[in-house]
Chain A
């Protein structure tokens, strides 16, 4: 199985801050990576696929990059509605696997 290592596991930031999350795959997954946002009690939401393509309706302050084993997810200017847990997930191989998540909290 492909292991997805996400870091940090949590961070505290202020509105307006730039936030960066990294995700590392245990083997080459090309660009077959999704990013999700999950708020407590809500359905997870797909933000980005193919490592860098924004899902329709997702604000442009979200961006992603990377290929192979190393990926980055960035929020350029953190907004109040962005406080949530973010997950990367690979789809190069079954079983599909998620990173452990990054909880973005208010500083």
Chain B
């Protein structure tokens, strides 16, 4: 049974950096695209980024492009999100999620982690 566990959240000052991790188990991690999705307090879900199964293709939401970097280590079954130049509006619960498909086309989020909270505040 697929399981995803996020870590690395916390309180960080504006303009600083933070790296989130997502440990995967219960499925062949190296075969699936992986996403980050966030939910700001009182708001809906917002897609952040996706990486292909092999890490060669990466795509970002408009609000994080140029500041966030998604990456993966298939030898460690781990997904990452490097967040730079953080802003108060990046405050959210960040979820990692497994894509439903195993190709360069992204079908959306089939399995989700429980999330990790990031608070950007001085």
Contacts and interface: CB of A to CB of B under 8 A. Distances in A.
A23 to B, nearest CB: 13
B44 interface: yes
A67 interface: no
B65 to A, nearest CB: 9
Interface stretch (A11-19, A37-45, A58-66, A70-78): A37-45
Contacts, number: 61
A34 B108 contact: yes
Q: How large is the interface on A (under 10, 10 to 19, 20 to 34, 35 or more residues)?
A: 20 to 34
Given A1-B62, A42-B114, A44-B112, A98 B106 contact: no
B62 A46 contact: no
Interface string A63-105: 0000000000000000000000101010100111111110000
Interface residues of B, number: 24
A36 B45 contact: yes
A95 B44 contact: no
Given A36-B45, A98-B44, A89 B113 contact: no
Given A98-B44, A98-B45, A100-B44, A49 B108 contact: yes
Contacts of A94: 50, 59, 106
B50 A96 contact: yes
B106 A96 contact: yes
B27 interface: no
A70 B83 CA distance: 36
Point out which of B45, B110, B113 has the most chain A C-beta atoms below 10 A from its C-beta. Answer: B45
A44 B109 contact: yes
Contacts of B110: 46, 55
Given A38-B45, A96-B35, A98-B44, 15 more contacts: A43-B115, A44-B45, A46-B109, A49-B107, A85-B44, A89-B45, A89-B47, A89-B108, A94-B50, A95-B59, A96-B47, A98-B47, A99-B44, A100-B44, A101-B45
Q: Which 9 A-B pairs have the closest CB atoms?
A: A43-B112, A96-B47, A101-B44, A34-B108, A91-B108, A98-B45, A94-B59, A95-B61, A44-B112
